Structure 1
């Protein structure tokens, strides 16, 4: 008999095994390893609950829900982010996924929640089936495609010496600048000092005023991705890049079934869309990766994000995911405005 309950720290070892066994399907197959603690990433996300399905004291399924304060039309709303939705391969098609979502739904009802969000790899249909069977509520709706761009680490720092990129800390001025920028995005976090813990913060000023802030986060002590499957053309690209590394002064790229070490570009805020400035910040991020002998700096952007067209065009790999949003209170007016806007998701905590 399957039992459902909230996970505790004593469940760590079993949750790690479940995570390792539950890969993400799609054009590019991924697995996320969460050693040494499944809960480190959960705590980074914020106020979270992890529900598990258990059979004879063996964990066979999980789902996590995290409450975040986010911007919607510049107002502040609670958003419930659903993640870590996994069912052991031996126990699929037995209704466990549906019951796990029912546990989350009961929690959302107790919180009088409205908006819930989940993110799935493009091409992965599994979560759509479970959520579409839930009664009494509207179904999850697509709010567009997110591009997760992975820039290869490079020795070169940049080329525009007019920009002085300073290393700084999470001051009130930095927080105000970040919130001013991200309040114009839909579903972006209301950023506090807690969101900038363990991040490296870079700042650019002009006439003493901040014109750009970039935040990099190293989550290697919380998760590492492993590519289980990749198309032939990506294998060919990686082989070619590794061959010409002495000329390009770039980092070595991992092959299939090798761990991917990376930094996450958690936030990138600018006062204006200056192509040279944005390019310079990306170069600096690539250099930080090179210094750590990692492979990539990863940056997630919605397809409507104006930043996307200013990013450097070479030595990068792009993954795609689909953002899914539901309004449990059927707030269709806000739903439509979110879909027309520029949604944001911090992919360092996914």
Structure 2
């Protein structure tokens, strides 16, 4: 019999083991480690509840829902973010996932949350199928996909004469710059000084005007991406990379069983008509990834984001993340409206 209960700190090691047994599959199959604390990443989002499916003393699955402030229609609202959807391979044919999703639907209704938001990697077909309304669950509205770019670090950087690239500390002016930019997104973040803690902010200035900024962050102190496998095409690239790395100055290549060293572009913003300033910042960030001996500089954008043309200019190994929305109060009318717009997703929190 499968029992659904709230997770406790005592479940930390069992949940770590579940992560090892249920990797995220894609061009790179990644096992997400959360050493030393499984729950630390959820605390970064907001108040959360983690539930586990347990049977015979074993944890068969886990799911988290977190309350998160996000920008919708230019206003800050509380939404429910569905996370940590993991089912142990031994229980994938069971009702564990259905029971977890149903439990959280009831919880969201009791909390009077209207909007629920979830993402799933392309390879997580079981989760995607249930999000389509199977097994008696309400249908979540597909909201397109995000492209996660894993950019190759850049050894040489000539700089730019068009903009002055500087490192900034958090300020009211900087926070206003980011929040004005993200007001145009659905699920845009609400940036505060705390949001920029343990980060590096790069900005492109010209004539005493800030034209673009990016926030870089290393999250390896609470999340580690361990490579388990890769697709055939990606494997060809990586094997060549590993070979030439032995005698050429190339970034550290991925290796199976080893954590990836990733530097994340957590936030980005640009003034209207000066997206080229963002391109200069991305080139500088790739150089910083090289200097820090990272394997990738990672950034994610919605497939409708007009800034994609800037990010696609840089060589990368892409991954795809699908988005789903449910609005409980109006039979998904709000969800369908949101799904037609440009969404934001914080890739440091996956």
Any idea what SS the aligned residue of 2:319 has? strand
Structure 1-normalised TM-score? 0.92
Determine if contact 1:168/1:203 at 8 Å carries over to the other structure: yes
Determine if contact 1:266/1:346 at 8 Å carries over to the other structure: yes
Counterpart in the other structure of 1:210: 210
Write the deviation string for residues 150-190 of structure 1: whole angstroms up to 9, x where unpaired.
11112223431332222122211111110000010111112
Determine if contact 1:273/1:307 at 8 Å carries over to the other structure: no
Write the deviation string for residues 77-130 of structure 1: whole angstroms up to 9, x where unpaired.
222111111121222222111111122112101111111111111142211343
1:26, distance to aligned residue in structure 2 (A): 4.2
Any idea what SS the aligned residue of 1:166 has? strand
Any idea what SS the aligned residue of 1:219 has? coil
CA distance in 1, matches of 2:247, 2:308: 27
1:274, distance to aligned residue in structure 2 (A): 3.2
Any idea what SS the aligned residue of 2:173 has? helix
Decide whether aligned partners of structure 1 residues 281 and 124 sit closer, same or farther in structure 2, where only a CA change above 3 A counts.
Answer: same
Determine if contact 1:18/1:61 at 8 Å carries over to the other structure: yes
1:215, distance to aligned residue in structure 2 (A): 0.4
CA distance in 2, matches of 1:308, 1:72: 22
Structure 1 runs of 4+ aligned residues shifted over 6 Å read none
CA distance in 2, matches of 1:249, 1:66: 43
1:281, distance to aligned residue in structure 2 (A): 0.8
CA distance in 2, matches of 1:337, 1:105: 21
Counterpart in the other structure of 1:291: 291
Decide whether aligned partners of structure 1 residues 223 and 158 sit closer, same or farther in structure 2, where only a CA change above 3 A counts.
Answer: farther
CA distance in 2, matches of 1:158, 1:322: 37
1:244, distance to aligned residue in structure 2 (A): 4.8
Counterpart in the other structure of 1:190: 190
CA distance in 1, matches of 2:144, 2:242: 33
Structure 2-normalised TM-score? 0.92
CA distance in 1, matches of 2:331, 2:269: 29
Of 196-205 and 138-147, more deviation after overlay is shown by: 196-205
**TM-align CA RMSD:** 2.2
Counterpart in the other structure of 1:103: 103
Counterpart in the other structure of 1:44: 44
Any idea what SS the aligned residue of 1:38 has? coil
CA distance in 2, matches of 1:192, 1:84: 25
Of 187-196 and 78-87, more deviation after overlay is shown by: 187-196
CA distance in 1, matches of 2:67, 2:297: 27
Write the deviation string for residues 214-273 of structure 1: whole angstroms up to 9, x where unpaired.
101111111122332322221222233445559985412213443211011000100134
**Aligned residue runs from structure 1 range 76-95, under 5 A:** 76-95=76-95
1:7, distance to aligned residue in structure 2 (A): 1.4
CA distance in 2, matches of 1:262, 1:47: 27
Give unmatched runs, 5+ long, in structure 1. none
**Aligned residue runs from structure 1 range 1-350, under 5 A:** 1-26=1-26, 28-131=28-131, 132-133=133-134, 135=136, 138-244=138-244, 249-311=249-311, 313-330=313-330, 332-350=332-350
CA distance in 1, matches of 2:345, 2:46: 14
Write the deviation string for residues 282-321 of structure 1: whole angstroms up to 9, x where unpaired.
1121122112211011000011001110125343111111
Any idea what SS the aligned residue of 1:102 has? helix
Determine if contact 1:152/1:250 at 8 Å carries over to the other structure: no
Determine if contact 2:142/2:323 at 8 Å carries over to the other structure: yes
Decide whether aligned partners of structure 1 residues 90 and 102 sit closer, same or farther in structure 2, where only a CA change above 3 A counts.
Answer: same
